[in-house]
Amino acid sequence: MLSSASNRVLTFTLQFSSSLKFSPKTHIDYRPGSLHSSIMSSASRSSPREALLDDSGCGGPITLEEWQRWGCVSPVPAMVNAVIQDLKLLENNIDAHMVFGGNGGKLQGDFKIQEDKKHRAKYETLADSDKKFQFYSARQIACRLLGSRGYLCQKCWLPMEDCMCSKVKPSSLWHGIKFWVYMHPKDFLRQNNTGKLLWQVFGVQAATLCLYGISEDEEIMWNAFKDAGKAKVWCLYPNHNNAPKTVQDAFSHQSSADMECAYSLTNKDRPLNFVLIDGTWSNSAAMFRRVKEQAKLAWGEEDIPCISLASGASAMHKLRPQPSWDRTCTAAAAISVLAELQLLPECSTHGLDKQAEAVEDALVVLLEVLTTRRLRMGRSITRKVRHSRDIC
C-alpha cells in the first residue's frame, strides 16, 4: 500500500455534510529530507527477522485462536496450514531459517530462493485453475502470518511499538447493515490497510473480513448472501457494464422501482450487505469478476447490484498514493455509504452519522500513527517526494 503500485480500488467521490467532512485533526510540522535519504530509508523499511514460534512454543500450524486474533472469523484455512507445513519441512531439509522483512512479511535470503523454486514447481502440478488460485492466495497469507508473528499487533496490524488499539473507540453498527471487507491476500496484514478499521470499530460480526481465494472465507460470505437474497447484497464498485445506482436511487422511497428494497432496510432479520472490495486498483478487476462468477452460481446470473458513491479524497490520500485525487480508501467508502444513508428519511433515526464519525476518527488515528512512524524512520510523508523517488 505504501508504494505507488498499490492503488486502491474504491474510486468514488465523497461529498459529506459539513458535520462529516474529514476534519483537519492531524497537525504535523514536517521538513522534507533529501531525496537520497528517502531512497535509503525506503530500502531498509523493516529489518530482516526470523519466523517466530507459535503460541505453543513450536513451529506448528496456525491455531484457530491465533487465526481469529488477526480479525478472521472462518475456520483456519486448510491450505494455509498445508503451506506452512511445507515451509517448515523445507526449512528442516535445507538447514536454513525462514527470514522475513519489508512490507507484507516477504521471504528473504537463501531460503526465499529455494522456496521460490519449490512453490513454482508445486503450482505447475496443480491442474485445476481454481486450485492454483487458492494455492496462490494461501501462500501469500501463510508467509504474511509467519512473518508478522511477534512483530505486528494482531488487532491493528501495526508494529508493536506503534500499536493504536488503545486510541480506537468502538461503536455499534446499526443492525440493518453489515459490511463485508473482501480483501486481496496482498493487503492482508498491511500496516496502512484501512479496511481493518471497520471491524476494529464495529466488531467482526458487523464488519467481516473475507479473504479473496480462501474457500473457507468465501463460503461464509456467500452463504450469508444466499440467505439474505440478491436484493440485500450491494457491491461498492464502479461496474462499467451496468450503470451503478446512487444510494438515493437504490434506497429512497422516491424510487418506485426500488421501493421493496428500501422497505427491506427495516427488516431486522436480514441486514443489507455491502461488499467493499479491498485491493489495489489493478487487483480489483479480478476480484470483481470472482464476485460475479459466484453471483451466477448463487442466483443464475452474474449481474450484481453496484452502488456509486459521491466522494472526495480521504485523509489517507496524504500518505498512500492513488491513481487520482478522486479515488478513496476502503474505510472512507464505508463512511460515505453511512453518511448518504443517513440522509434518507427511513434511515435518519439509526445514528448512522455517528457511526460514520467513529470510523473517521479511527482513520485519523491511523493516519497520525503512520505519519509519526514514517517521520521517525526518516521517510517522506508527502505524495510529491515519494513520486519523485519512484521516477528515479
Instruction: Mention every residue, 6+ apart, whose C-beta is less than 8 A from residue 57.
Output: none
Task: Please indicate, yes or no, whether residues 131 and 187 belong to a single structural domain of this protein.
Answer: no
- How many separate domains does the chain show? 2
The residue to which cell 492466495 is assigned: 137
Report d(CA 74, CA 84) in Å as an integer.
18
Q: Is residue 113 a part of any domain in this protein?
A: yes
The reported pTM is: 0.81
Task: Please indicate, yes or no, whether residues 199 and 141 belong to a single structural domain of this protein.
Answer: no
Q: Is residue 6 a part of any domain in this protein?
A: no
Task: Please indicate, yes or no, whether residues 268 and 340 belong to a single structural domain of this protein.
Answer: yes
Starting at the earlier edge strand, list the strands of the sheet with 106-107: 49-50, 99-101, 106-107
Please report the pLDDT score of residue 390 as a whole number.
Answer: 34
Task: Please indicate, yes or no, whether residues 61 and 98 belong to a single structural domain of this protein.
Answer: yes
Q: What burial class does residue 62 get, using C-beta atoms within 10 Å of its C-beta: 0-12 exposed, 13-18 middle, 19+ buried? A: buried
pLDDT tens-digit map of 148-185: 999 999 999 999 999 999 999 999 999 999 999 999 99
pLDDT tens-digit map of 52-69: 545 433 456 899 999 999
Q: Which domain holds residue 88?
A: 49-147
Return the bridge partners of 295, or none: none
Instruction: Mention every residue, 6+ apart, whose C-beta is less than 8 A from residue 170.
Output: 200, 201, 202, 203, 358
φ, ψ of residue 181 to 5 degrees: the values are -95, 100
Report d(CA 98, CA 149) in Å as an integer.
12
Report d(CA 219, CA 187) in Å as an integer.
20
DSSP-derived letter for residue 309 is: -
CB 177 within 8 A of CB 270: no
Report d(CA 42, CA 102) in Å as an integer.
9
Report d(CA 60, CA 32) in Å as an integer.
45
Task: Please indicate, yes or no, whether residues 165 and 128 belong to a single structural domain of this protein.
Answer: no
All residue ranges of the chain with pLDDT < 50 are 1-45, 53, 55-58, 254-263, 266-267, 323-326, 385-392
The last residue of a domain, from among 147, 178, 196? 147
Report d(CA 359, CA 169) in Å as an integer.
9
The last residue of a domain, from among 147, 177, 211? 147
Report d(CA 143, CA 176) in Å as an integer.
36
Task: Please indicate, yes or no, whether residues 318 and 177 belong to a single structural domain of this protein.
Answer: yes
The last residue of a domain, from among 116, 147, 178? 147
Task: Please indicate, yes or no, whether residues 109 and 225 belong to a single structural domain of this protein.
Answer: no
Q: Is residue 32 a part of any domain in this protein?
A: no
- The alpha carbon dihedral of 326, 332, 337, 340 has a sign of negative
Q: What is the DSSP string of 109-174?
A: HHHHHHHHHHHHHHHHH--SHHHHHHHHHHHHHHHHHHHHTTTB-TTT-SBGGG--GGGPPP-PPP
Q: Is residue 1 a part of any domain in this protein?
A: no
Please report the pLDDT score of residue 14 as a whole number.
Answer: 38
Report d(CA 357, CA 315) in Å as an integer.
13
Closest CA to 142 of 210, 77, 220, 57: 77
- Measured in whole angstroms, how far is the alpha carbon of residue 359 from the centre of its chain? 14
Task: Please indicate, yes or no, whether residues 348 and 239 belong to a single structural domain of this protein.
Answer: yes
Q: What's the chain's length in residues?
A: 392
Q: Is residue 36 a part of any domain in this protein?
A: no
Q: Is residue 42 a part of any domain in this protein?
A: no
Task: Please indicate, yes or no, whether residues 230 and 199 belong to a single structural domain of this protein.
Answer: yes
Q: Is residue 110 a part of any domain in this protein?
A: yes
Element (H, E) at 238: none
Please report the pLDDT score of residue 322 as a whole number.
Answer: 53
Task: Please indicate, yes or no, whether residues 130 and 188 belong to a single structural domain of this protein.
Answer: no
CB 319 within 8 A of CB 192: yes
Please report the pLDDT score of residue 255 as a whole number.
Answer: 42
Q: Which three cell numbers stand for residue 21?
A: 467532512
Task: Please indicate, yes or no, whether residues 165 and 88 belong to a single structural domain of this protein.
Answer: no
Distances (CA, A) of 56 to 65, 73, 75, 89, 223: 11, 21, 19, 18, 33
Task: Please indicate, yes or no, whether residues 55 and 193 belong to a single structural domain of this protein.
Answer: no
| Max Cα-Cα span within the chain | 68
Report d(CA 11, CA 24) in Å as an integer.
22
Return the bridge partners of 106, or none: 101
- The alpha carbon dihedral of 341, 330, 208, 25 has a sign of negative
Q: Is residue 31 a part of any domain in this protein?
A: no
Element (H, E) at 101: strand 99-101
